[in-house]
Amino acid sequence: MKLAIAAFVVVYLLVVSFGFLLFRRKKTSRPASIAIHIPEAEESTGLSDRIRKASTSVGRTVARLEGFLPKSEAESSAVRLKCIRAGFRNDSAVRIYHGARVALMITLVGIVLITGLASYNYLLILLIAAAAGYLIPDFWLGSRVSNRKRQIRRELPDVLDLMVVCLEAGLSIDQATARTAFEGRKSHSPLADDLDVAVLEQQAGCSRSDAWRHMAERTDEQSVRSLVSLLIQAEKFGTSLGTSMRVHAQSLRTKRIQQIEETAAKTTIKMLFPLVLFIFPVIFLVTIGPAIILMLETLKQGFGN
């Protein structure tokens, strides 16, 4: 136990020393006036000042931890796109993601060292802890993306119905999109959030077709891609947008019903394995067990006589 604590202290001091050497040039380049105002900030004991200091220190720590993780520009773009598909559009989302990876790796390795879990296979347990800390944020972000796509797929037919109602009431497609985004914002709908971004892109000068394509890329949902293609073709050939949306919404509902029926049909096959492994042996034991016991007692009495 003492050896594990000592090893953890050594690793911690090495990490801190490396961080100090890495950011020493940035600290020395700061003006001297900052050092003058530090004691005044330390003398402040208000709750709001403490919360502000804590949030600032956490943000700086996360930003610094990101620098320890080497990454290319392509990887950063892929992570940013994944964060956007998960619903995180802040500029700090990528930094928090990489910082969380490094912080979780250090935390898990420290827990392993302190608790003595690595006493049996030192190197293997440490590698498993580091790999878990590195992969857990990625798994969590992927799960967040899948849940958001599932929610968008579920909400799309209702959103299309609302847009059709707005179009039939006399609104244009842009006004109908803005109104649908406004109504969906009250229920914190992810699809309404993407529609709102598309409206803002059009107001910033982006064409309607490009804004719809960007929305399909942000959601990464096949039903949204099909809707965008349908809207672009309807606008290009001059067909009715309301009719196209109504047909697409009906096809999405029919597809959902078919998926539910398919899942229900697969239930019989999936229940076969629990029946054979768990339920049938118990039934046989209850029904045939007393008869077997009676036969054994009869045979025992017969041989005894």
Q: Which CATH code, of 2.40.50, 3.30.70, 1.20.81, 1.20.120, is assigned to 148-266?
A: 1.20.81
Report the pLDDT averaged over residues 166-190.
86
Residue written as tokens 């119905």?
161
What is residue 290's predicted lDDT score, i.e. its pLDDT?
86
Domain segments of the chain: what residues? 2-16+38-146, 148-266
Joined together, the tokens standing for residue 43 give: 């003398």
Q: Which amino acid is it at 244?
A: S
Q: What is the pLDDT of residues 103-139, one digit of tens each?
A: 888 888 888 888 877 666 777 888 888 888 889 988 9
Query: Environment class of residue 256 by beta-carbon count within 10 Å: exposed (0-12), middle (13-18) or buried (19+)?
Result: middle
Q: Above 80 in pLDDT, residue 143?
A: yes
Q: What is the pLDDT of residues 235-272, one digit of tens each?
A: 888 778 888 888 888 988 998 899 889 988 888 888 88
Can you tell me the distance from the alpha carbon of 251 to that of 169, in angstroms, rounded to the nearest whole number? Answer: 23
Q: How far is CA 26 from CA 21, 36, 64, in A?
A: 10, 18, 12
Can you tell me the distance from the alpha carbon of 156 to that of 173, in angstroms, rounded to the nearest whole number? Answer: 16
What pTM was computed for the model? 0.63
Q: Which backbone phi and psi does 285 adopt, to 5 degrees?
A: -65, -40
Report the pLDDT averaged over residues 83-93.
85
Joined together, the tokens standing for residue 152 give: 């968008």
**DSSP single-letter state for residue 1:** -
Confidence of residue 61 (pLDDT cuts 50, 70, 90): low
